[in-house]
Amino acid sequence: MDGAQSADERGTALDSQTRLLLAVRDRRDRAAFAALFAFYAPRLKAMLLRGGAGDALAEDVVQDTMLTVWRKAAQFDPARATASAWIYRIARNRQIDIFRRETRPLPDDAGREEQEKDAFASVALAEQVHRLRAALRQLPAEQRAVLESAYLDGLSHGDIARAKGLPLGTVKSRIRLAMGRLRRLLENSAKP
Contacts (CB under 8 A) with other proteins, residues 89-128: 89-90, 92-97, 102-108, 110-113, 128
Q: Which range of residues in 3-11, 152-160, 163-171 is near other proteins by CB under 8 A?
A: 152-160
Give the nearest distance from C-beta 37 to other proteins in angstroms: 5
Binding residues among 26-55 for other proteins as defined by CB under 8 A: 30, 33-34, 37-38, 40-47, 49
Using CB under 8 A, pick the residue from 10, 72, 117, 184 that binds other proteins.
Answer: 72
Q: Residue 25 and residue 9: Cα distance in Å, rounded?
A: 10
Binding of residue 142 to other proteins (CB under 8 A): no
Amino acid at 16: S
Which residues lie below 8 Å from residue 19, measured CB to CB, with a gap of 6+?
A: 9, 11
Q: Residue 40 and residue 15: Cα distance in Å, rounded?
A: 14
Give the nearest distance from C-beta 141 to other proteins in angstroms: 13
**Farthest-apart Cα atoms in the chain, separation:** 57
Which of 31, 36, 47 minimizes the C-alpha distance to 94? 47
Give the nearest distance from C-beta 3 to other proteins in angstroms: 25
